[in-house]
Amino acid sequence: MAFPITRHRRLRRTAGIRGMVRETLLTAEDFIYPIFVTHGTNVKEEIPSMPGVYHFSMDRLEEEIRDVVASGVRSVLLFGVPEHKDSIGSSAYDRDGIVQQAIRAVKSWAPELVIVADTCLCQFTDHGHCGIVHQDTASGTAVVDNDQSLELLVRTAVSQAEAGADIIAPSNMMDGFVHAIRGGLDDAGYSDIAIMSYSVKYASAFYGPFRDAAHSAPQFGDRKTYQMDPANVREAIREADSDVAEGADMLMVKPALAYLDVLRLLKEQFDLPLVAYNVSAEYSMVKAAAANGWINERGIVLETLTGMKRAGADIIITYHAKDASRWLRGEEV
C-alpha cells in the first residue's frame, strides 16, 4: 500500500511506540572497557591524547575497577605498560609481568568481571613491533619473523590464562596465531579459555593515541606487512575464515567506525560472536569535538555505538564504556 494508507510516522509518534519497535538495543553488557596498567606507585596519569583515560599503577587500579563495576560494565580488556623492554618482549610472558599481576588482582577484587587479556608483544619489545625482528639476509632490512614470534605469543597467552584471564585476545596479526595459541592453551590445560581473535586488523591511522597510551609505536618502519591494507575487504573474509578453522571463539574487526561494511560482511559470513573495536582515535576525535562545544558528546557516542551494533557487532570494545553505560541508565556523567 502507498500513502495515504501507509504512514510510516505512525510508529514514531511517541517515545513508547519508538521503543516498542526499536530494532537495535544497546546495553552495558555489550561493552568491554580497556584499561592501561603500569609500574610504579600512586600513578593515575591521564593520557594526553585520550582525555578521561589513564595509566594506573597497581596500587591505584582497584579504584578504577570499582568504578567499572559501579558503571554496570561487566568486562575489561587489560593492557600493560612494562618497566622493562627488550628485543624479545620477555615482560609479556613473565609470570609476574604487569598484565599477569593485574589479572590476578582484578580477579580478587571483582571476580564477576570478565577479564580479557591483550596478547601481543608490541608494548613489550624495544623495537615496538608485534613479534621477533631479524635482519633479512637477502634484502638487508629488518623483518618480523612470523613463526618464531608464534612461540612467544603462545607463552604469553598461557601465562595470562594461568593468571586467571577468562579470554585471550591476540592482536598481533601473525599468520597461524590462533592455531598456535589454541594448541598451547590446550596443551597447558586451558582448553576452556576462549580466544577473541583480532581477525581483521587494519594498518590504520586511527591507532595513534593508543600508541601514546601503550608506548608501542614502532621504532622503525610500520606494520603494513602484517596488518591489513585499509583498501581490502575480500581479504577480511580470508583472514576470518582462517581463524575460524584454527579454533577462534570470537572474531574482531578493528577499527570499527571506518569499517562498518566489513563488520556487516563478517556478520553475514560467519556465526561466531563478532567484536568491534571502537579505537583510540575514534574516541579522541569525539572528546576533542565535545571539549570545543561542537557536538553533543552523549548523543554522538550512543549513536555511534548503536551504529556499530546495527552493523553486526555483538560486543564493542570502547573507551566510552563507563560513560555510555551510565547514559543508558539515564544518569548524567
pLDDT digits (tens, 9 = 90+) for 89-143: 888 989 999 999 999 999 999 999 999 999 988 888 876 666 777 766 566 567 7
Question: Rounded to whole angstroms, how far apart are CA atoms 21 and 69?
Answer: 30
Question: Rounded to whole angstroms, how far apart are CA atoms 192 and 315?
Answer: 20
Q: What is the pLDDT of residue 162?
A: 98
Is 254 one of the annotated active-site residues of the chain?
yes
Asked whether the beta carbons of 59 and 41 are under 8 A apart, the reply is yes
Asked whether the beta carbons of 122 and 216 are under 8 A apart, the reply is yes
Asked whether the beta carbons of 32 and 75 are under 8 A apart, the reply is yes
The single residue of 107, 224, 254, 287 carrying the catalytic annotation is 254
pTM of the model: 0.93
Asked whether the beta carbons of 93 and 85 are under 8 A apart, the reply is no
Question: Rounded to whole angstroms, how far apart are CA atoms 78 and 53?
Answer: 13
Closest CA relative to residue 36, chosen from 68, 78, 66, 65: 78
Largest CA distance in the chain: 75
Is 224 one of the annotated active-site residues of the chain?
no
Asked whether the beta carbons of 21 and 11 are under 8 A apart, the reply is yes
- Using the predicted structure, report yes or no on whether residue 214 has a pLDDT greater than 60: no
- What are the E-state strand segments in the chain? 31-38, 44-46, 54-57, 75-81, 114-119, 132-135, 142-145, 167-170, 194-201, 250-254, 274-278, 315-318
The winner for highest mean pLDDT among 81-95, 117-131, 190-204 is 190-204
The single residue of 44, 85, 201, 322 carrying the catalytic annotation is 201
Q: What is the pLDDT of residue 122?
A: 81
Cell numbers representing residue 13 in the block: 509518534
Burial call 292-327: b when 16+ CB within 10 Å, e when fewer: eeeeebbebbbebbbbbbebbbebbbbbbbbbbbbb
pLDDT digits (tens, 9 = 90+) for 11-57: 999 999 999 999 999 999 999 999 999 999 999 999 999 999 999 99
- Using the predicted structure, report yes or no on whether residue 216 has a pLDDT greater than 60: no
